[in-house]
């Protein structure tokens, strides 16, 4: 799938919020495509709300991947700002789409709570280099199966683990490669060998994601 992975003005120095906004735009499109892929494989959703639940799981996975990816590439302060801004932009997208589908309401707190919960959970699992390990991919697949429905539980984890994770990460990595600033690892960058060390996920606050 096509993603926005190039800046219009390459010579311009882009702020962390600008980078987070571009990454969130790409992540949302990736989540939409993943949901469509599942439906094309026969894993049907029954409502727009359920589609948003599936997209939310993919966004939580991509947020965690982003944190692990930049942990050795950014100083902690910059990394935390990126994660916070990215979460805020994702919450804005989710708020707008939930409101269109489900009517007026504040949908950000529940979404931020999901991001925090998944971020904590996925941090317990190892990466193999820059790739999420089997246990993390499998757990992610189980969460997607849960929102798709009990009758899907047997088959979806394998589909997500083997097919959807690589297809989601390929364009997201391309966006990261082209949108993130090129810099050396900061002195206070975290060590992510094995289990992640990352900014406190509870810094992802719904009240920092206003429209």
Given pLDDT bands bounded at 50, 70 and 90, which one contains residue 16? very high
Instruction: Say what the pTM is.
Output: 0.86
Provide the β-strand partners of residue 131: 128
Look at residue 57 and tell me whether its pLDDT is greater than 80: yes
List, in order, residues 6 or more apart from 100 with CB less than 8 Å away: none
Look at residue 14 and tell me whether its pLDDT is greater than 90: no
pLDDT digits (tens, 9 = 90+) for 76-85: 999 999 999 9
Kind and range of the H or E element at 15?
none
**Mean pLDDT, rounded, of the chain:** 86
Average pLDDT rounded to a whole number, residues 184-201: 44
Given pLDDT bands bounded at 50, 70 and 90, which one contains residue 11? low
Given pLDDT bands bounded at 50, 70 and 90, which one contains residue 153? confident
Contact status, residue 140 vs residue 122, Cβ threshold 8 Å: yes
In the 8-state DSSP scheme, what is residue 200?
-
């Amino acid at each position: 799938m096509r993603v926005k992975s190039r800046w219009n003005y390459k010579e311009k120095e882009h702020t962390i919020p600008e980078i987070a906004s571009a990454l969130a735009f790409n992540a949302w499109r990736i989540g939409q495509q993943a949901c469509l892929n599942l439906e094309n494989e026969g894993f049907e959703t029954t409502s727009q709300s359920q589609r948003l639940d599936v997209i939310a799981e993919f966004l939580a996975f991509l947020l965690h991947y982003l944190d692990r990816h930049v942990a050795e590439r950014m100083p902690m302060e910059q990394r935390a700002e990126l994660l916070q801004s990215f979460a805020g932009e994702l919450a804005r997208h989710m708020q707008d789409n939930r409101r269109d589908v489900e009517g007026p309401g504040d949908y950000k707190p529940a979404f931020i709570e999901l991001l925090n919960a998944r971020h904590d959970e996925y941090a317990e699992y190892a990466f193999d280099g820059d790739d999420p390990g089997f246990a993390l991919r499998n757990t992610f697949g189980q969460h997607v199966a849960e929102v798709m429905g009990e009758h899907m539980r047997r088959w979806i984890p394998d589909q997500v683990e083997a097919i959807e994770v690589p297809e989601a990460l390929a364009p997201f990595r391309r966006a990261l490669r082209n949108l993130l600033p090129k810099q050396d690892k900061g002195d206070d960058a975290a060590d992510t060998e094995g289990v992640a060390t990352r900014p406190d996920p509870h810094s992802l606050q719904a009240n920092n994601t206003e429209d």
